[in-house]
Amino acid sequence: MGSMTTQDGNGRLDWEQVRARYAGRPSLASLQGSSRVQVEEVDEDRICLSQRLWRDCVSRAELDDALALLRDGRLAATPIAFAEGLRRYYASGPRVETGCTRVPNLTAVVLTDLGYLSSP
């Protein structure tokens, strides 16, 4: 599973390459089904995505944290299992997130597109 985006010396995403990849606002494969997720914007701190009924963002820090968990073997490398593992991590980890959030799914969509997770 080779990534399409290189990492910096600290193991974080090379954000300039991420910004360049998504600058044209491409559509990405969703976790399931044939619908697509549209990149709406990418800036210094986040990537915003949308589908017909919603728009939400995932931050650079959230992507880097998830990538570190993946690298440590704490999350599965398949998109749906990765998203579910990240959701469990947010529900019981050091930064408990109890509200409904799209971050685990959006993180899985982006990291799959970047080549860090196996294709669905």
Give the pLDDT score at 100.
Answer: 63
Span 85-120, pLDDT tens digits: 999 998 886 665 555 689 999 999 999 999 999 865
Q: Give me the residue label for tokens 């709406």.
A: 40
Span 37-82, pLDDT tens digits: 999 999 999 999 999 999 999 999 999 999 999 999 999 999 999 9
d(CA 91, CA 31): 20
Q: How confident is the model at residue 1 (pLDDT cuts 50, 70, 90)?
A: very low
Residues 28, 52, 32, 58: is their CA dihedral positive or negative? positive
The single-letter DSSP state of residue 45 is S
pTM of the model: 0.87
Give the pLDDT score at 33.
Answer: 86
d(CA 54, CA 117): 24
d(CA 87, CA 57): 16
Mark 65-101 as b/e (b = at least 16 C-beta within 10 Å).
bbbebbeeeebbebbeebbbbbbebbeeeeeeeeeee
